[in-house]
Structure 1
Amino acid sequence: MRLALRAARERTGLSQSEVAKKLGWSLSKVQRIELGEVTISPTDLRAVLVDIYQLGDQARIAELMEEARVARRERYTTASEHRDHLPSGLLQLVQFEQAAVTIREYQSTMVPGHLQTSAMVDATLAWFDRVLTEDVRDVLRDVRLTRRERMVERETAPEYLLLLDESALWRLVGDAATTADQFADLAEVGRRPNVHIRILPMDSGALMGTFGAFVVLDMSGEPDDAVLYRETYLHDEIVEDTTEVRYHRDVFERFWHRALDEEASRTLVMARVLDLRARIARRFGQDQDR
């Protein structure tokens, strides 16, 4: 829907502000519709397509109006607490994940939230106790745990490629047991046919680390039908600029082929698990001796 509306507007040569003026809408409304942040009613959609963009293909109009109805139904089934507490970028990301065909994700510091164990989620969100309310943290926890099913476990889950910086393996989150269990789970998830996990060695990924975490979601087989998600400590955003999306996908692919292959990556992850569990066992033995 968002791509069709943007493409139709660009064919007419109209700017977003000109469309807004013709319809008596605010500029932000047009921008948010094209970004997928808000839905558009079938009535408003027909006015835009027929009166403003002069679209005469009745079959295409009917197809887009049906998509508008579906989008509005999906909007209303989004939990109210998610709309109230999730950052706008994350809320959009969750929606895009459900329709994506391929997801490429780079993480430089830790296992992404949707692949975290319950204990890891709790340990991670505990860091935000001074900046996020308990209600917000509860919603974030719920979303992290439910996104896993949608992204990697459902029958129609997308192809998922995770490029994880090696430095993430050496960072303790919570305690050694929590971290070891997390990496063991990650290695197991990587065995799923639609999941591909590679570790980028620290001596090969210095430049990549400067990018920070990002996700590229391909929505179809069309190269420009994709979005970029970027996240920092307290801010996130969805980027639809095709040049920037394409650039991040190309960077990902470049370093994906420089990373350890999936079998070697799994071996490295499990070596870290065994190291952590050996440390726990030694510590337990020393405590027993005392």
Structure 2
Amino acid sequence: MASRRSPTARQRRLMAELSRLRRSSGLSRVEVAERIGSTDTTIWRYETGLTRPRPSDVSVLTEVYGVTGEARDSLIQMAGEARRRGWWHRYRQALKPGFDSYIGLEAEAAVVRSYEPLVVPGLMQTEPYARAVIEAAAVTQTPAEVDEKVSVRVSRQRLLYGPGDPIQLVALLDEAVLRRRIGGPGVMREQLEHLVDLGGLPNVEIRVVPFSAGAHAAMDGKFCLLSFPDPEDPDLVYLEQATSGLMPKDPEEVRRYTLMFGSLTALALGAEASAAFIARTARRCSSH
């Protein structure tokens, strides 16, 4: 088990457990609501994550569902953890809708698998590169909002080093990511050299999908898959657009992107060949 704990991930598990327990009990939401003196809408909000129940609310529900002992204590503790605020909460106004939820889930993930066709993934960006990317996309944002986004991006990178169990990162980068000059030659060279260094970490694997691979299954755009340390927490996929982020709940969607990632991996250069490719590209940055 990873030692990292995230309120968002705790809420996700709690809502799944409450829904599973109610179905196992054979009770409808209306029947549960009648027994605890509440409304079926409240039960629905607990099970869909729209409302985070208090530990006392969960305690009452465990009585209805016949949950006792360590299982009951675990659910009540989970409810308390879910109501805390993560470090990213203070920045939520500057983040696109949906991305704050992604950060909260990423914070407890065991493995991140990412495909990026345009820019270096946020977890691997240097601060100058991150600022250049964010400023270029900041069509309607203030300088203060840009600063906040840069701060969030850099703060997320602690996941690669700890504290606690560092996240396992597998990144597939289209060759275009390495060729696109962002922030000028110096910034780009520093970024590419940083990728080479990151690829030397035991928990980071970077693979390049070269132009020579031709057309592939992920031509529609970038995506990110999260896997969690507890098998009870299913994988999820995160899809990002210019103004919002989306996490489809359909397991078939997650399966589709998982197969897509496998297909891309088969087309990518190996880790050592990718590191050599990135290093060569970095050396060329100052000569053109």
When normalised by structure 2's length, the TM-score is 0.83
1:139 corresponds to which of 129, 144, 148: 148
> Is this contact kept in 1: 2:216–2:264, CA < 8 A?
no
Q: Look up the equivalent residue of 1:215 and give its one-letter code.
A: C
Counterpart contact for 1:2–1:34, Cα < 8 Å: yes
1 CA distance for matches of 2:149 and 2:121?
Answer: 13
Structure 2 counterpart of 1:194: 203
- Amino acid paired to 2:79: A
Q: Deviations over 1:183-226 (max 9, x none)?
A: 11111111100000101122325223423111111113538622
Aligned counterpart, 2:74? 63
Q: Say whether the 8 Å CA contact 1:150–1:157 is kept in structure 2.
A: yes
**8 A Cα contact 2:235 2:254, kept in partner:** yes
Residue in 1 aligned with 2:92? 83
The number of equivalent residue pairs is 273
Q: What residue is the counterpart of 1:24 in the other structure?
A: 39
The correspondence for 2:59, drawn from 37, 46, 52, is 46
Give the distance between the partners of 2:51 and 2:237, measured in 1 at CA: 18
- Aligned-pair identity in percent equals 26
**Alignment-derived partner of residue 171 in structure 2:** 162
Deviations 1:31-76 (CA, angstroms, capped at 9, x unpaired) = 5x5565653211222344443xx24344312111011112223x2x
State the partner residue of 1:4: 17
- So what's the TM-score if we normalise by structure 1? 0.82
Q: Which has the higher helix share?
A: 1
Measure, in 2, the Cα distance between the counterparts of 1:17 and 1:181: 59
> SS in structure 2 opposite 1:257?
helix
Residue 261 of structure 1 and its aligned partner are, at CA, apart by 0.6
- Segments of structure 1 that go 5 or more residues without pairing to the other structure are 280-290
- Partner secondary structure for residue 216 of structure 1: strand
Decide whether the 8 Å contact of 2:223 with 2:240 is kept in 1. yes
Alpha carbons of structure 1 residues 168 and 16: separation in structure 2 relative to 1, 3 Å: farther
Query: Displacement of 1:160 after TM fit?
Result: 1.0
- 1:233-244 map, 5 Å: 233-244=242-253
For 1:242 and 1:108, how far apart are their aligned partners in 2?
Answer: 24
Q: Cα RMSD (Å) of the superposition?
A: 2.8
2:10 — aligned with what? Answer: none
After TM superposition, give the deviation of residue 180 of structure 1 in Å: 1.4
For residues 207 and 157 of structure 1, do their structure 2 counterparts lie closer, same or farther at Cα, with a shift above 3 Å needed? same
